[in-house]
Amino acid sequence: VLSRMVLGAGISLKVGFVATGIAILIGTVLGALAGYYGRWADALIMRFVDVMLCFPTFFLILAVIAILEPSIWNIMVVIGLTGWMGVTRLVRADFMALRERDFVQAARAVGAGDLRIIFRHILPNAMASVLVTATLGVAGAILTESALSFLGIGVQPPTPSWGNILTAGKDNIDIAWWLSLYPGLAILITVLGYNLLGEGIRDALDPRLRR
């Protein structure tokens, strides 16, 4: 059980980090474009975000995974492709607040191009909120992967993950309860830990809370 728990930790964390990385990359790029350029770019991107938010995320993941072959890479990609909308809205709001600041106007005055302004001047100032969102996103991705594996459409045996270890233990819960207890505790502690880490980073980076 211990060896499978250790191997399962690597799989679950890998899914969490890669899926969150995909979501952060897509969300940051789209949010930056919408917030910086505004007008038609903002309207087009935000309408697409609204359409994506109309679908329940978990059921959308279930539908896509049911069509595709269940594999680690498919799960990471699908979770990432369905988790970028919140990042887009957050980055867009930061860019809309920052694009009229004095340092951006000064960069325009010296002839800096749009890409330089976006990636050199505005994006670094918006990374604090992105970092908090990424930390919370890892917890959500691990929880989603565990749920999919528990339902049998996530990581497939013999590859271990906390979700399918939990599934294997539920059939013997009356005589070997620890087979379900340990992966359940691992999921609980990991998800809670990343949520608390995200809250801590947010409090540390928010000057209003430091006062």
Give the amino acid at 73.
W
Q: How much is the average pLDDT of 73-77?
A: 88
User: CA separation (Å) from 155 to 72, 86, 152, 162, 211?
Assistant: 6, 26, 8, 9, 45
**C-alpha closest to that of 89 among 37, 53, 49:** 49
Note whether 35 and 95 are within 8 A (CB): yes
CA distance 10 to 107: 44
Structure tokens at 101: 């600041």
Q: How much is the average pLDDT of 44-65?
A: 85
- Predicted confidence band of residue 20 (pLDDT cuts 50, 70, 90): very high
What share of the chain in percent tops pLDDT 70? 97
Ranking 34-43, 132-141, 169-178 by mean pLDDT, the lowest is: 169-178
Note whether 74 and 22 are within 8 A (CB): no
Give the amino acid at 43.
A
User: CA separation (Å) from 181 to 32, 151, 153?
Assistant: 43, 17, 21
Whole-structure pTM value: 0.85
What pLDDT sits at residue 26? 93
Homologous superfamily in CATH for domain 2-210: MetI-like (1.10.3720.10)
Average pLDDT in the chain: 85
Q: Model confidence over 90-135: pLDDT tens digits? A: 999 888 888 888 888 888 888 777 788 888 888 888 888 888 889 9
Structure tokens at 161: 């993950």
**C-alpha closest to that of 194 among 127, 130, 140:** 140
Q: How much is the average pLDDT of 66-95?
A: 87
Q: How much is the average pLDDT of 23-49?
A: 90
User: CA separation (Å) from 29 to 34, 46, 106, 165?
Assistant: 9, 13, 23, 37
